[in-house]
Amino acid sequence: MTPTDPPSRKKRIFSGMQPSGEAHLGNYLGALRRWVEMQDEHDCIWCIVDQHAITAGGDPKELPGHVLDLAVSYLSVGLDPEKSIIFVQSDVPEHTELAWLFNAVTPIGDLERMTQFKDKAQRFESIPAGILNYPILQAADILLYKADGVPVGEDQKQHLELTRDVARKFNAAYGETFPETEPLIEKGVGRILGLDGEAKMSKSLGNTVPVLAGPDEVWERVRTAVTDPQRIRKTDPGRPEVCNVYSLHHFFADGDVLEDIATQCRGATRGCVDCKRILSDNITERFTPFRERAAELVEKPERVREILDDGAVRARAIAGATITEVRDRMGLDWRASIG
Ligand code: TYM
């Protein structure tokens, strides 16, 4: 690099999570764990997407508590307000403004094709428009900050493709404004299966381990995990390659230990309950510092509020600049005609 070269810009990373209470192991392995690592290298923005959450139709009395719980999870697993911007979506009204403006370039057919829309729509007799428009708000979240990359799990892939389409269509109609943001989906962790061994780990399915769970709760949950269905008795040889508990061991045990676990399973020298005990202890060990930090934060909700307030101010500074540019490009700056 010569003295005249501009310093290379750090990559801008954005991601968000819906507040449905504290985060769980799937959120942690698929998203949060990587967010924490990214903070040291990139310019990161982490959002709590409460306006997305309302499309699920939960109890409004519970939402503020869920936002606080998720903020506590964010901070407890290691998201750091000194390194990143951490904020709540509804504190930055530019998100909904940009979402509205993106309605102008998003074909309804693209929204109707989304598999998440098709799944969710089945639950309603009369489908709320918010379920259909959900990915437009998600595109606005990301493009408002002109994010270069978005770390997410596999289930968000289609929404991120739509985000790229929205950026392309907007740029074609109104001039080059937005980047084509890259989805950052890590191989092997994009879809963590729940303890039922069947569906994606998800709070609504009750097949999770919460990240702030104590040893007893972790064990309560892990004890119920489904293993190789053909291994009925302890003396039956097991097949680690089809066992979800074994897949989860990969995130907590190193190569030699994994090999031992697999050998003992195949040779029927260790039963499933013992095997789950190892997993439960390892998860507890990983989660203990999170729980300790959470206990401190829960005592100081005003500190959490300060962090989110400050995050919203910093987010708005970026969001405001993008919205001004977009209004201008779309001809919404009528005062310009007066001069
Ligand atoms: P949400 O709240 O469902 O999930 C948050 C993040 O956790 C990941 N995740 C998982 N990863 C692997 N295995 C699992 N079992 C698992 N469960 C959840 C999700 O992939 C996600 O990365 N629409 C988004 C929220 C959102 C958003 C955004 C994300 C709104 N705006 C902008 C990124 C950028 C959602 O419902 O995620």
pLDDT digits (tens, 9 = 90+) for 246-287: 999 999 998 899 999 999 999 999 999 999 999 999 999 999
Residues 27-56, buried b or exposed e (16+ Cβ, 10 A)? bbbbbbbbbbebbeebbbbbbbbbbbbebe
Structure tokens at 133: 């428009």
Q: How far is residue 217's CA from residue 222's CA, in Å, rounded to a whole number?
A: 9
Structure tokens at 50: 């409460």
Which ligand 1 atom minimizes the distance to the CA of 52? Answer: 30
Domain with CATH 3.40.50.620 in the chain: 12-190+301-337
Report the pLDDT averaged over residues 13-25.
93
- CATH (residue range 12-190+301-337): 3.40.50.620
Domain with CATH 1.10.240.10 in the chain: 215-295
Q: Is residue 138's pLDDT more than 60?
A: yes
Structure tokens at 310: 């400050």
Cα three-residue angle 66-72-75, rounded to 5 degrees: 140
Q: How many angstroms separate the alpha carbon of residue 100 from the centre of ligand 1?
A: 22
Structure tokens at 58: 């939960």
Q: How far is residue 2's CA from residue 307's CA, in Å, rounded to a whole number?
A: 39
Q: How far is residue 39's CA from residue 32's CA, in Å, rounded to a whole number?
A: 11
Percent of the chain with pLDDT over 90: 88
* Residue in 13, 14, 15, 17 to alter for ligand 1 test, most ligand atoms within 8 A of Cβ: 17
Contact 12, 141 (CB under 8 A): no
**Is 61 labeled as catalytic in the residue annotation?**
no
Catalytic residue among 11, 157, 169, 200: 200
3-state secondary structure of 253: coil
- Predicted confidence at residue 9, as pLDDT, reads 81
CB-based contacts of 88, cutoff 8 Å, min separation 6: 47, 48, 50, 67, 71, 308, 311, 312
CB-based contacts of 53, cutoff 8 Å, min separation 6: 18, 19, 20, 63, 66
Q: How many angstroms separate the alpha carbon of residue 312 from the centre of ligand 1?
A: 21
Contact 311, 82 (CB under 8 A): no
The residue nearest atom 29 of ligand 1, judged by CA position, is 16
Residues within a 6 A CB radius of ligand 1: 14-18, 26-27, 30-31, 49, 52, 138, 141-142, 150, 152-153, 155-156, 159, 190-192, 200-202
**Is 203 labeled as catalytic in the residue annotation?**
yes
**Is 300 labeled as catalytic in the residue annotation?**
no
Structure tokens at 78: 């290691």
Q: How many angstroms separate the alpha carbon of residue 279 from the centre of ligand 1?
A: 24
Report the pLDDT averaged over residues 129-134.
96
- Predicted confidence at residue 2, as pLDDT, reads 54
Q: Is residue 56's pLDDT more than 90?
A: no
Name the nearest CA neighbour of 74 among 269, 245, 197, 211.
Answer: 211
Q: Does domain 215-295 have CATH number 3.40.50.720?
A: no
Q: How far is residue 57's CA from residue 71's CA, in Å, rounded to a whole number?
A: 21
Cα three-residue angle 147-149-155, rounded to 5 degrees: 115
pLDDT bin (cut points 50, 70, 90) of residue 64 is very high
CA 139 → CA 128, 184, 238, distances in Å? Answer: 19, 15, 45
